[in-house]
Amino acid sequence: MDDFTKIINLEFDHNIIGNKRVNTVNSPEYNASTILFDSHEDMMLAENGKYSGIYYGTNRLPNQRELEESLNILENASVTRIFPSGISAIRHVLLSFLKSGDHILVCDNVYGPTKLLCRLFLSKFDIETDYMPSNAENIEDFIKENTKAIFLESPGSITFEIQDMDKIVQTAQKHNLITIIDNTWATPLYFKPLEKGIDISIQSITKYISGNSDILMGSVSVNEKHAAHFDKYYSLMGICCSSKDCILALKGLKTLKIRLKEHEQNAFFLASWLEGHKIIEKVLYPALKSHPQHDLYKKYFKGSSGLFGLIFKKEVSPEKITTFLNSLNLFGLGFSWGGYKSLISAGKVKRDCFCEYEDRVIIRISAGLEDKEDLKNDLENALKKIS
């Protein structure tokens, strides 16, 4: 059975009225701190950690459990848990599996806040971070005696570089290292990390899963080997997400399959057209044959999402880039992506390893669900003002 068929038809018990189950399409919203027990015996079971039901609000209310189970199906994971944001999910994964004196190896194309987290937060716990290029040939050169994990983002959401994940997984397993990936760009619809041997898959639900730019949330899906450890950690931390946000994420998740196709089609159309423009040096989109790692894209991914980048030729001044951005009408100026509205942003690449895009301004485009010709015309009008 198709994963989305399972998710759409996933059943969770609703309220009972007159001994009859209330069969609404969407689950009711549960808001609670205190949960009442049917008996003192049940309460004692909860006290001793043997109660099978929900015993308190931090014990993951039904809306959260439904979202986690749906994502678990899509990820083909043993355990999935959700967090109040994507960076919160990343932080808790690192804290769960690393300790003082450990070393983590991070691909240098990762999300900027991930680097800040490693530099400003993990360092306080005496956890060492080193970076390796996404195209590193010999990964073993970067592994130390105290290395415990490798963190990937493939493709990176700024420079869109792809790692050879089979090679990294093989090396990690040889050295008994945990592999972690931020899989927000592809979603588990287009790439299932755990099926490739990666241990932990992280997503920013804020983006494509939600699809409406109205919530902040992240998820962590873990394979069988590490599931018990992570589940215990999560329970101890008392992490919880609002039921309302879980319901919004569930509604987004159930339409992901059709939305992501439209994002992909719009992005490919725009990226292919922009690639031939006279003032554009390079378009960074793995689905294009011109992408330097297009073969790796074809090897690992079933499709591409709506996020890509472009670099103007060097003669295009910062002032002209500002004019271009300010001339757009349909593209909102915003840092996020994955929602139905098209967005655009610009920033310089700062890397911890050598990168051909170092200090270049990358324009990052999130193709939304507007008509592709309307989006093209908006970009074309803005480009005319600086050509």
Tell me which amino acid residue 149 is: A
- Report the pLDDT value the prediction gives residue 17, as an integer from 0 to 100: 55
Residue 84: pLDDT band by 50, 70, 90 thresholds?
very high
pLDDT, tens digit (0-9, with 9 covering 90-100), for 288-299: 999 999 999 999
Q: Which residues of 287-323 are buried (b: 16+ CB within 10 A; e: fewer)?
A: bbeebebeebbeebbebbbbbbbbbbeeebeeeeeee
Among candidates 67, 149, 145, which has minimal Cα distance to 106?
A: 149
Tell me what pLDDT residue 353 has: 62
Percent of the chain scoring above 70 in pLDDT: 96
User: Can you tell me the distance from the alpha carbon of 129 to that of 115, in angstroms, rounded to the nearest whole number?
Assistant: 9
Distance CA 264, CA 305 (A): 5
| Residue 97 host element (H or E) | helix 86-97
Whether cis (ω within 30° of 0) applies to the bond prior to 62 is: no
Helix and strand numbers (H, E) in the chain are 13, 14
- Amino acid letter at 362? I
* Mean pLDDT score, 317-338: 95
> Strand 128-132 relative to strand 103-107: parallel, antiparallel, unpaired?
parallel
Average the pLDDT over 335-339 and give the result: 94
Query: Residue 56's beta-bridge partner residues?
Result: 34
Looking at the whole model, is its pTM more than 0.85?
Answer: yes
Residues forming beta bridges with residue 347, ordered by sequence position: 362
Q: How far apart are CA 193 and CA 76, in angstroms?
A: 9
The encoded tokens of residue 376 equal 């093209």
Classified as helix, coil or strand, 253 is helix
Q: What is the pLDDT of residues 278-289, one digit of tens each?
A: 999 999 999 999
CB 217 within 8 A of CB 85: yes
Residue 326: its pLDDT value, please? 97
Rounded to 5 degrees, φ, ψ at 147 are: -65, 130
* pLDDT confidence of residue 23: 72
Question: pLDDT tens digits for 27-44?
Answer: 888 899 999 999 999 999
What's residue 379's pLDDT?
98
* Mean predicted lDDT score pLDDT of the chain: 93
pLDDT at site 349: 78
Region 256-384: CATH code: 3.90.1150.10
pLDDT for position 357: 76
Choose the most confident range, by mean pLDDT, from 5-9, 54-58, 274-278, 353-357. 274-278
User: Residue 111: is its pLDDT beyond 70?
Assistant: yes
Indicate the domain borders of the chain. 3-30+61-253, 256-384
- CATH code: domain 3-30+61-253 is 3.40.640.10
Three-state secondary structure call for residue 58: helix
| Alpha-carbon gap, residue 122 to 250, rounded angstroms | 32
* DSSP secondary structure letters along 102-133: -EEEEETTS-HHHHHIIIIIGGGGT-EEEEE-
* pLDDT band per the 50, 70, 90 thresholds, residue 354: low
Closest CA to 325 of 307, 305, 347, 308: 347
Characterise 67 by phi-psi region: left (phi > 0), alpha (psi -120 to 50), beta (else). alpha
Confidence check: pLDDT of 13 > 70: no
Are residues 222 and 350 in contact, defined by beta-carbon separation less than 8 angstroms? Answer: no
CA–CA dist 326, 315 (Å, integer): 19
Look at residue 151 and tell me whether its pLDDT is greater than 90: yes
The 3-state DSSP composition of the chain as helix, strand, coil percent (nearest 5) reads: 40, 20, 45
- Give whole-number Cα distances, 10 to 27, 73, 160, 287, 341, in Å: 10, 10, 35, 33, 29
